[in-house]
């Protein structure tokens, strides 16, 4: 069992230690450096990247952090644990039905028939059966140790068995929301990772002109790849043994809308038809006439992207949109509650502002307003996430600590003063 509060500070202990996520980052960088020599197919490369990053994370969570003994894991280890074959069979039925429901959606929606998603389907076709086989002993062993074994899988199984009187509708709804989130984001993240990881096959810095633009291109792609690897791992490793299971899923329609419109296929429609602020011009030429300014400006953008990636790495194996899987209070989350959102939105201003200022003032003003509206979407995401996480007393304590000690506490005081 771990304490929920850091002694003497009022700051809750972080669900993930920083060095655990950083160990996975180090392993990932080594793997990416080796990719040109290993030369796997793109889908295998993406899978290898996730495996390389998560092997040290999972090992440290189990062997050092002993995550399975956390009180929040909901597992009992101080008693004999007889295996309940019947209950486990109901859960496995629920798992099969959940996966079948996802497969039906992927088959029904034409979006998932494109080349972008095909690498994931190829990988699942080859190796998915091994995951299903591994689920059988895992369900048997974990079910025997659970404090509350009638989880979402059991609820789905009982629904299929028409045992309606025994169904907990709240738990069933949480399970459905959790798997809709996983089902939406996992293929999206995997497809993006496959596209991003191809850069490490073809990019050779020593064969480029050695310009800062080449450095910027490689570094920004590396940072986005790191973000995607740890994000994808989070959706895949929602297991109780790592204390990485979903405690709760976003309960409001507003919270869901604010999150999913920031991702494809919705973002293309929103950005192109309503909130378009980008042009087809890179940021570098917009700073012409000042030889060092493009370099300094680019370093600033990369610094913000590094904070963005660091925020995802800090989750270890617990990243996920729209769910609560433990409160982070270390690393960038000791500075602000929303380091990723702040870094991402500031990076957009730095990327697009130089040529916004070079346009006719009316067009520049329009683009600035559009970008401010995009910033507003992320502000709404932050507010709905805070409302959801505030159901956890640890998050309430964390938010109170941030109001006293966070770098942006002056903003909270200004808002309170204005209220």
Q: Is the model more confident about 285 or about 393?
A: 393
pLDDT at 283: 54
- Tell me the percentage of the chain whose pLDDT exceeds 70: 87
Q: How far is CA 361 from CA 247, 287, 378, in A?
A: 49, 17, 26
**Residues 87 and 143: beta-carbon distance below 8 Å:** yes
Long-range contacts of residues 363-367, Cβ cutoff 8 Å, at least 24 apart: 367/277, 367/279
Q: What's the whole-model pTM score?
A: 0.91
Mean of per-residue pLDDT scores for the chain: 88
Give per-residue pLDDT as tens, 292-312: 888 888 899 999 999 999 999
Question: Band of the pLDDT at 416, cuts 50, 70, 90?
Answer: very low
pLDDT at 9: 65
Read off the pLDDT of each residue in 150-172 and give the average, rounded to a whole number: 96
pLDDT at 286: 56
Least confident of 39-48, 119-128, 206-215, 281-290: 281-290
Q: Is the model more confident about 418 or about 5?
A: 5
Q: Let me know how long the chain is.
A: 419
Q: Name the residue ranges covered by the structural domains of the chain.
A: 18-418
pLDDT at 7: 43
pLDDT above 90: residue 366: no
pLDDT above 90: residue 137: yes
pLDDT above 70: residue 188: yes
Least confident of 19-28, 202-211, 250-259: 202-211
What is the 3-class SS of the chain, one letter each residue? CCCCECCCCCCECCCCCHHHHHHHHHHHHHHHHHHHHHCCCHHHHHHHHHHHHHHHHHHHHHHCCCHHHCHHHCECCCCCCCCCHHHHHHHHHHHHHHHHHHHHHHHHCHHHHCCCCHHHHHHHHHHHHHHHHHHHHHHHHHHHHECCCCCHHHHHHHHHCCCHHHCCHHHHHHHHHHHHHHHHHHHHHHHHHHHHHCHHHHCCHHHCCCCHHHHHHHHHHHHHHHHHHHHHHHHHCCCHHHCCCCCEECCCHHHHHHHHCCCCCHHHHHHHHCCCCCCCCCCCHHHCCCCCHHHHHHHHHHHHHHHHHHHHHCCCCCCCCCEECCCCCCHHHHCCCCHHHHHHHHHHHHHHHHHHCCCCHHHHHHHHHHHHHHHHHHHHHHHHHHHHHCCCHHHHHHHHHHHHHCCCHHHHHHHHHHC
């Amino acid at each position: 069992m771990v304490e929920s509060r850091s002694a003497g500070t009022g700051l809750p202990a972080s669900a993930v230690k920083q060095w655990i996520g950083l160990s996975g980052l180090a392993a990932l960088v080594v793997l990416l450096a080796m990719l040109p020599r290993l030369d796997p197919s793109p889908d295998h490369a993406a899978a290898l990247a996730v495996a390389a990053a998560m092997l040290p994370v999972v090992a440290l969570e189990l062997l050092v952090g002993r995550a399975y003994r956390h009180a929040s894991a909901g597992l009992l280890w101080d008693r004999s644990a007889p295996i309940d074959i019947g209950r486990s069979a109901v859960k496995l039925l629920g798992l099969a039905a959940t996966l079948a429901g996802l497969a039906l959606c992927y088959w029904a929606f034409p979006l998932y028939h494109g080349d972008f998603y095909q690498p994931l389907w190829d990988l699942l076709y080859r190796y998915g059966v091994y995951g299903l086989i591994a689920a059988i002993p895992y369900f048997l062993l974990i079910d025997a140790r659970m404090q509350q074994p009638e989880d979402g899988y059991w609820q789905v199984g009982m629904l299929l068995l028409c045992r309606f009187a025994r169904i907990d509708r709240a738990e069933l709804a949480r399970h459905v929301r959790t798997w809709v989130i996983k089902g939406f984001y996992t293929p999206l993240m995997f497809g993006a990772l496959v596209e991003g990881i191809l850069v490490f096959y073809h990019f050779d810095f020593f064969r480029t002109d050695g310009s800062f633009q080449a450095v910027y291109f490689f570094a920004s792609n590396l940072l986005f790849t790191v973000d995607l690897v740890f994000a994808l791992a989070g959706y895949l490793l929602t297991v109780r043994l790592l204390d990485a299971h979903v405690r709760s899923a976003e309960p409001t329609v507003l919270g869901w809308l604010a999150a999913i419109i920031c991702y494809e296929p919705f973002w293309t429609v929103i950005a192109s038809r309503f909130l378009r602020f980008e042009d087809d011009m890179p940021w570098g030429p917009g700073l012409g006439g000042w030889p060092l300014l493009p370099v300094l400006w680019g370093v600033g953008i990369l610094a913000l992207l590094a904070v963005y990636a660091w925020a995802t790495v800090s989750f270890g194996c617990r990243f996920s949109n729209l769910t609560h899987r433990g409160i982070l209070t270390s690393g960038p989350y000791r500075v602000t509650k929303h380091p990723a959102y702040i870094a991402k939105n500031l990076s957009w201003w730095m990327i697009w502002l130089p040529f916004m200022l070079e346009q006719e003032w009316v067009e520049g003003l329009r683009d600035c307003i559009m970008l401010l509206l995009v910033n507003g979407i992320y502000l709404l995401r932050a507010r709905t996430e805070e409302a959801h996480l505030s159901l956890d007393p640890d998050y309430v304590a964390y938010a109170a600590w941030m109001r006293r000690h966070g770098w942006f506490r002056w903003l909270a005081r200004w808002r309170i003063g204005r209220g």
